[in-house]
Amino acid sequence: MLIAGFPAGPWGTNCYVVATGSGAECVVVDPGKDAASGVDEVVREHGLKPVAVLVTHGHIDHMWCVAPVAGSYDATAYIHPADRHLLSDPMAGMSPETAGMLLGGKYEFAEPDAVTEIGDGADLELAGLTFSVDHTPGHTPGSITFRTPYDAAPGEISQVMFAGDLLFAGSIGRTDLPGGDHAVMLRSLTDKVLTLPDDIAVLPGHGEQTSIGQERATNPFLLELQRGAGASTPPPSRGL
């Protein structure tokens, strides 16, 4: 299995290219600002053909290049219906600080030609891979994660989860942006993260790789949830 990831743009958003191997079809996860050139480089290096763009949520730092990447390769974009409007109107999900960074620029956003809405429990068969979709609202109403089996020695990694801004190494997604809800985020973490096996690798939207087991044991927000304390401490403002 081939997974190539790189941080892109001013927010350092992780974009991932996933395939069964070199010379195969592939999917692109969260091509944010300035990610298109990185995707092109990975595609050329490994002889890949993108057939799908998976969007964990509609924030601009994760979807800026969805339409350009999908259009360049005639690929279909997959997104939860609650965040679909952000593909063409990303300003609706921005903080005032982020909006201020973009003032004066002439930016136009539009949906790709092909968009497929996906919801909780969906299984996507793409590029020879299977992706299980979990709806994990809280950071945005339409936040989702994608999990796919990973071939490794027994007891190492069973699946890889593309977590977007749900879960980071040592932290969780912020909930102070439009559409964010801290209580809903805690339910998503309780129902969709703490129920997963420890041997799932987590590839987050920002920062370094981690695992469910590592976060269960050390993440202060998950530790509070496991103690029944409700994780009352607001998460830091990571991402846009």
Please count the structural domains in the chain.
Answer: 1
Q: Write down the residue that tokens 């801004």 correspond to.
A: 165
> Could you give the CA distance from residue 214 to residue 202 in angstroms, rounded to a whole number?
10
Q: Is residue 22 part of a domain?
A: yes
The one-character DSSP state at 137 is T
Q: Is residue 231 part of a domain?
A: no
Q: Write down the residue that tokens 């809903």 correspond to.
A: 184
Q: Is residue 173 part of a domain?
A: yes
CATH of the domain at 112: 3.60.15.10
pLDDT in tens, 151-184: 866 668 999 999 999 999 999 999 999 999 999 9
Q: Is residue 235 part of a domain?
A: no
> Could you give the CA distance from residue 162 to residue 39 in angstroms, rounded to a whole number?
17
Q: Is residue 238 part of a domain?
A: no
Q: Is residue 16 part of a domain?
A: yes
Is-above-0.85 flag for pTM? Answer: yes
* pLDDT on residue 153: 64
> Could you give the CA distance from residue 225 to residue 235 in angstroms, rounded to a whole number?
13
Q: Which domain does 28 fall in, by range? A: 2-226
Q: Is residue 182 part of a domain?
A: yes
pLDDT in tens, 93-118: 776 666 666 655 667 788 999 999 99
Residues of the chain with pLDDT under 70: 95-106, 152-155, 229-234, 236-240
* Residues counted in the chain: 240
Q: Pull the structure tokens for residue 126.
A: 């793409």
Q: Pull the structure tokens for residue 100.
A: 């201020």
> Could you give the CA distance from residue 18 to residue 30 in angstroms, rounded to a whole number?
11
> Cβ(147)–Cβ(161) under 8 Å?
yes
* pLDDT on residue 144: 98
Q: Is residue 237 part of a domain?
A: no
